[in-house]
Amino acid sequence: KQEVTQIPAALSVPEGENLVLNCSFTDSAIYNLQWFRQDPGKGLTSLLLIQSSQREQTSGRLNASLDKSSGRSTLYIAASQPGDSATYLCAVYQTGANNLFFGTGTRLTVIP
């Protein structure tokens, strides 16, 4: 069964730093990978969706990369801001499973 891991579980950085969040998955037969943001007590906000045929996607200060063969994705956040503080979740769509498999998230705190 697909397993998705996000390390570290928590991360604190000073404002203005560039940072990388990691996501790894055990089965490379994925259709796509999606990054979400979740604020405390709230739902998930979709940030970026990368198809399996793509290497990266960019939206503003966010850049997500995908290396399907090694089972890894990274989310790069440039010039972090206190408003970026949230939990970031990655999820993979498993080909044939009709399910999104989620990691447990990285809780990011950006210190002013």
Partner 1 sequence: DGGITQSPKYLFRKEGQNVTLSCEQNLNHDAMYWYRQDPGQGLRLIYYSQIVNDFQKGDIAEGYSVSREKKESFPLTVTSAQKNPTAFYLCASSIEGLNTEAFFGQGTRLTVV
Q: Return residues touching partner 1 (CB under 8 A).
A: 4, 31-32, 34, 36, 41-46, 49, 89, 91, 93, 98-105
- C-alpha 63/C-alpha 76 separation (Å) is 5
Closer CB to partner 1, residue 12 or residue 99?
A: 99
CB-based burial label for 76 (10 Å; 0-12, 13-18, 19+): middle
- C-alpha 86/C-alpha 37 separation (Å) is 6
User: Least distance in Å: CB of 68 to partner 1?
Assistant: 15
User: Least distance in Å: CB of 35 to partner 1?
Assistant: 11
Please count the other Cβ atoms lying within 10 Å of the Cβ belonging to residue 80: 20
Closer CB to partner 1, residue 3 or residue 17?
A: 3
Closer CB to partner 1, residue 63 or residue 95?
A: 95
